[in-house]
């Protein structure tokens, strides 16, 4: 397809209702409002087309992006240094992606739980109760463990012996 017709199509193609979009200065404004229907459809399709495993993991992932965006993150210690940060819930054995969430930056809401807690609780809303969830220290907070014990799920995290409350076994 020639460039000019393709450009016309992309300029006029919208997957959301522009009239229902909130203004950027509105506190409920979603930075992903233009692609939110696709993200929601993908998450729904991922969960419908595969039976969930008992062993799942939650971790961050980067989508490489070199353009300008307020959602672009810089992580100097990662292989992909600049791009969009995503939170992913995957099967621990096969790597199948059940659900993902794109990080859009800080929220203005002052919540009791931190970012890691919010991510884990958001990604585990549709998880069966007998699922074993593994995540690293970034996501662990006592509020997460308390909520999972209440739901009768099992959560696991990486830890070091130097952390408070863990005995050193030499």
DSSP-assigned letter for residue 52: P
CATH of domain 52-157: 3.30.420
What pLDDT is attached to residue 24? 80
Give the tens place of pLDDT for each residue, 126-157.
Answer: 888 788 888 887 777 766 566 665 455 556 65
pLDDT at 85 (0 to 100): 94
Pairwise pLDDT comparison (111 vs 54), residue with the higher score? 54
pLDDT at position 39, please? 92
Q: Are 72 and 66 in contact, with CB atoms under 8 Å apart?
A: no
Centroid of chain to Cα 74 = 17
Q: Is the pLDDT of residue 90 over 90?
A: yes
| Parallel, antiparallel or unpaired: strands 132-135 and 97-102 | unpaired
Check residue 31 and give its pLDDT.
86
Query: What is the distance between the alpha carbons of residues 34 and 121, in angstroms, rounded to a whole number?
Result: 25
| 59-63, 111-115, 119-123: range with lowest mean pLDDT | 111-115
């Amino acid at each position: 397809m020639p460039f000019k017709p393709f450009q016309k199509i992309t300029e006029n193609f919208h997957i959301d209702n522009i009239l229902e979009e909130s203004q950027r200065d509105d506190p409920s404004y979603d930075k992903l409002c233009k692609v939110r229907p696709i993200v929601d459809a993908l998450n729904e399709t991922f969960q419908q087309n595969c039976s969930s495993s008992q062993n799942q993991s939650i971790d961050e992932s980067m989508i490489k992006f070199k353009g300008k965006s307020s959602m672009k993150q810089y992580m100097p210690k990662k292989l992909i240094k600049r791009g969009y940060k995503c939170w992913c819930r995957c099967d621990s054995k096969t790597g199948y992606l059940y659900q993902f969430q794109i990080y859009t930056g800080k929220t203005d809401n002052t919540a009791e739980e931190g970012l890691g807690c919010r991510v884990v609780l958001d990604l585990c809303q549709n998880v069966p109760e007998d699922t074993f969830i593994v995540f690293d220290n970034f996501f662990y907070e006592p509020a997460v463990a308390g909520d999972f014990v209440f739901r009768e799920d099992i959560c696991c995290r990486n830890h070091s012996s130097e952390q408070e409350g863990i005995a050193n076994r030499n």
